[in-house]
């Protein structure tokens, strides 16, 4: 048996791992995404609010979170649940008042918790005063949005070009009153701002200052790559992927995404943030090629969100695939920058839905124990799953637009259900039996209060790993990645003086016995810091045979050196 393993290891060329040393002043913290409608309802109307967040700030402290990012809380008709803003400096009454926000900020800072706001610069709501005035052609607002009379084809008026909206359908909407089309890269209720207008640029800068003056710690920039469009308004080349001119993937987005001017605006925002004494963060949301994404680092983002664990990792990933996903980020990121790991957000299927519970723990291990910023989407810490939502209950515009037959493949509602606090009414989320989206039926057993009492729960596991991440010595530990078997991927976080940690994950459906001595200088004896419940290694207090560690199917084992001080 031993010979077979030795042979198996020997023929794997990928045993050689990357080694990545965190920079001296590494930015390494835990960031939590709050979806405010679904975190905690304080006033009992069935929708989460800012007072609810204040009530539950201790959850962040207990979960070793350093910073929270709030999805939009600004005045909005809520067509896209806050990503359609009608006033950027006002709090949406559903969520509370400015006083509530100020209280939240103070209470968070008292706990050493940073607060990041969502900045949505690409578009406003069609209910914004600017847009109403623009429709009427009142200067300077007439130029705040992108207007075009369209082109005549055989006597029929057509949109200026073939651009498609990210919500599907043409990116242009006709407005009789103005006798012109306006551009909307998202829904038609979300008109794109015209960044070629100097007034628009000034307005947006004033909005950044408004919130920075209140004392917030930075911005997460929404849909960054869509800010500028090419002014020639040329047709985009066809992708060849579909014949449907209304499908998002119909065109190659060369004139509507990642334009050089979009990069160039970032340093002007960076400069504003840098005028403040305390460090302020800029994190940008871009789903683009790795090279286009990396470029945002160079233009002043602290980091661009790394969605590779969502877009590239699947239930079938091999250890080599996983290693490639992880190594590529460290290898292509500009030197001295901040890595980051994301496993879910309010637009994508929940982690557990994508890979199942046992493998989800492996992914959470990557998010929390790889160097850099680890992002937790609310509910991931308790292993929340998706709930079936009927057509009648569906509220997401993406789902509604797809119709009853297809909504299940597009609706984002299932990943936005209320947080499950305990096993009483509405999972402890609200005193109201009726909530804006139904609480997942599994709340009776899957909830924070019960998970705190269960040593094998997702939360207990999460809490343990997040605690490790918080250690200053651990943040400085060098990363080494290895493939140990077809589905067994492992990484080490090594230090010279404070000990080391070894995380071993088996993504496969079969048990596998692996040899950890491929890690240089690994001691003969190690402590078990965490092991999957059904794992045979659970009873071990220590591992004496690093050359033969049996990893059950779909398992995670985390070992530390005996001298580890994290």
Give catalytic residues, as residue numbers: 222, 285
Cα 501 from chain centroid (whole Å): 26
Q: Three-state SS for 407?
A: helix
Residues 87-116 that bind ligand NAG (CB under 6 A): 87, 89-90, 112
386 and 414 in contact (C-beta within 8 Å)? yes
**To the nearest whole angstrom, how small is the minimum distance from the Cβ of residue 190 to Ca ion?**
10
Task: Choose one: 341-349, 377-385, 499-507, 528-536; the region binding ligand NAG (CB under 6 A).
Answer: 341-349
Residue among 188 and 422 whose Cβ is closer to ligand NAG: 422
> Residue 483: which region, alpha, beta or left (left: phi > 0; alpha: psi -120 to 50)?
beta
The contact pattern for ligand NAG, residues 297-326, with x = CB under 6 A and - = no contact, is -----------------xxx----------
**To the nearest whole angstrom, how small is the minimum distance from the Cβ of residue 527 to ligand NAG?**
26
When binding is defined by CB under 6 A, the residue of 192, 229, 285, 302 that contacts ligand NAG is 285
149 and 216 in contact (C-beta within 8 Å)? no
194 and 146 in contact (C-beta within 8 Å)? yes
Residue among 17 and 52 whose Cβ is closer to ligand NAG: 52
By beta carbon distance, the residue nearest ligand NAG is 428
Report the 10 Å Cβ neighbour count for 444: 13
The contact pattern for ligand NAG, residues 516-555, with x = CB under 6 A and - = no contact, is ----------------------------------------
Distance from C-alpha of 533 to C-alpha of 527, rounded to nearest angstrom = 16
Residues 238-257 that bind ligand NAG (CB under 6 A): none
Residues 104-123 that bind Ca ion (CB under 5 A): 122
**To the nearest whole angstrom, how small is the minimum distance from the Cβ of residue 294 to ligand NAG?**
19
**To the nearest whole angstrom, how small is the minimum distance from the Cβ of residue 277 to ligand NAG?**
15
Residue 189 tokens read as 């209720």
Neighbouring-strand partners of residue 69: 33, 116
**To the nearest whole angstrom, how small is the minimum distance from the Cβ of residue 316 to ligand NAG?**
4
Residue 517 tokens read as 């001595």
Strands (E), 363-442: 373-377
Strand order in the sheet with 180-183: 147-148, 180-183, 172-175
Residue 328 tokens read as 């590529």
Residue among 100 and 381 whose Cβ is closer to Ca ion: 100
When binding is defined by CB under 6 A, the residue of 35, 39, 60, 83 that contacts ligand NAG is 83
**To the nearest whole angstrom, how small is the minimum distance from the Cβ of residue 257 to Ca ion?**
9
Residue among 38 and 555 whose Cβ is closer to Ca ion: 38
When binding is defined by CB under 6 A, the residue of 58, 152, 154, 541 that contacts ligand NAG is 154
541 burial via Cβ count (<10 Å: 0-12, 13-18, 19+): exposed
Total chain residues near Ca ion (CB under 5 A): 8
**To the nearest whole angstrom, how small is the minimum distance from the Cβ of residue 86 to Ca ion?**
18
Q: Is 222 in the site for Ca ion (CB under 5 A)?
A: no
Distance from C-alpha of 409 to C-alpha of 384, rounded to nearest angstrom = 19
501 and 516 in contact (C-beta within 8 Å)? no
Residue among 43 and 308 whose Cβ is closer to Ca ion: 43
**To the nearest whole angstrom, how small is the minimum distance from the Cβ of residue 166 to ligand NAG?**
7
Q: Which residues 6+ apart lie within 8 Å of 201 measured at CB?
A: 195, 265, 268
Q: Out of ligand NAG, Ca ion, none, which partner does residue 43 contact, by CB within 5 to 8 A per kind? A: Ca ion
Distance from C-alpha of 391 to C-alpha of 398, rounded to nearest angstrom = 12
Q: Which residues 6+ apart lie within 8 Å of 171 measured at CB?
A: 159, 163, 164, 165, 183, 184, 185, 256
Q: Which helix (H) or strand (E) holds 115?
A: strand 114-119
Task: Choose one: 99-107, 272-280, 420-428, 551-559; the region binding ligand NAG (CB under 6 A).
Answer: 420-428
Q: Which helix (H) or strand (E) holds 134?
A: helix 129-135
> Site residues (CB under 5 A) for Ca ion?
41, 43, 45, 47, 49, 122, 192, 226
> Site residues (CB under 6 A) for ligand NAG?
29, 66, 80, 83, 87, 89-90, 112, 120, 129, 153-154, 186, 222-223, 285, 314-316, 345-347, 421-422, 424, 428, 449
């Amino acid at each position: 048996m031993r010979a077979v393993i030795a042979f198996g290891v020997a023929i794997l060329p990928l045993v050689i791992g990357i080694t990545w040393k965190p920079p001296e002043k590494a930015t390494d913290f835990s960031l939590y995404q709050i979806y405010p409608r679904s975190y905690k309802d304080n006033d009992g109307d069935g929708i989460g609010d800012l007072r609810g967040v204040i009530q539950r700030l201790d959850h962040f402290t207990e979960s070793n979170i350093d910073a929270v990012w709030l999805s939009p809380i600004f005045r909005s008709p809520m067509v896209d649940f806050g990503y359609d803003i009608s006033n950027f400096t006002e709090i949406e009454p559903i969520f509370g008042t400015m006083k509530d926000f100020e209280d939240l900020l103070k209470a968070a800072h008292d706990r050493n918790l940073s607060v990041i706001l969502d900045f949505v610069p690409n578009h406003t709501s069609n209910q914004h005063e600017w847009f109403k005035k623009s429709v009427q052609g009142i200067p300077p607002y007439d130029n705040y949005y992108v207007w075009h009379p369209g082109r005549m084809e055989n006597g029929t008026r057509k949109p200026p070009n073939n651009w498609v909206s990210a919500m599907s359908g043409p990116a242009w909407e006709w407005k009789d009153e103005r006798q012109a089309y306006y551009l909307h890269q998202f829904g038609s209720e979300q008109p794109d701002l015209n960044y070629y207008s100097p007034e628009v640029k000034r307005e947006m800068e004033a909005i950044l200052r408004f919130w920075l003056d209140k004392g917030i710690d930075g911005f997460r920039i929404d849909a960054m790559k869509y800010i500028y469009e090419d002014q020639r308004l040329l047709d985009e080349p066809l992708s060849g992927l579909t014949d449907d001119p209304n499908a998002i993937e119909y065109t190659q987005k060369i004139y509507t995404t990642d334009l050089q001017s979009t990069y160039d605006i970032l340093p002007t925002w960076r400069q504003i943030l840098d005028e403040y004494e305390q460090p302020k963060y800029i994190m940008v949301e871009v789903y683009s090629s790795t090279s286009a994404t990396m470029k945002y680092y160079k233009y002043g983002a602290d980091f661009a969100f790394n969605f590779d664990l969502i877009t590239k990792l699947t239930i079938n990933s091999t250890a080599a695939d996983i290693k490639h996903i992880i190594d590529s980020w460290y290898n292509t990121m500009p030197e001295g920058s901040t890595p980051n790991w994301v496993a879910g957000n309010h637009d994508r299927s929940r982690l557990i839905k994508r890979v199942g519970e046992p493998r989800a723990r492996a992914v959470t291990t990557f998010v929390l124990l790889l160097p850099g910023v680890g992002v937790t989407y609310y509910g991931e810490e308790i292993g929340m799953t998706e709930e079936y939502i009927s057509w009648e209950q569906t509220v997401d515009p993406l789902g509604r637009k797809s119709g009853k037959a297809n909504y299940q493949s597009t609706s984002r509602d299932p990943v936005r259900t209320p947080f499950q606090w305990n096993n009483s009414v509405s999972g402890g989320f609200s005193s109201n039996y009726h909530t804006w989206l139904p609480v997942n039926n599994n709340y009776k057993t899957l909830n924070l209060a019960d998970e705190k009492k269960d040593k094998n729960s997702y939360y207990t596991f999460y809490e343990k790993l997040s605690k490790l991440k918080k250690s200053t010595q651990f943040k400085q530990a060098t990363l080494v990645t290895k493939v140990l078997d077809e589905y067994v991927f492992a990484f080490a976080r090594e230090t010279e003086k404070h000990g080391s940690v070894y995380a071993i994950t088996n993504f496969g459906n079969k048990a596998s016995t692996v040899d950890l001595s491929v890690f240089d200088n690994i001691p003969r004896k190690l402590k078990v810091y965490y092991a999957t419940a059904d794992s045979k290694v659970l009873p071990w207090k220590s591992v004496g045979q690093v050359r033969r560690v049996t990893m059950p199917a779909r398992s995670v084992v985390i070992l530390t050196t005996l001298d580890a001080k994290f």
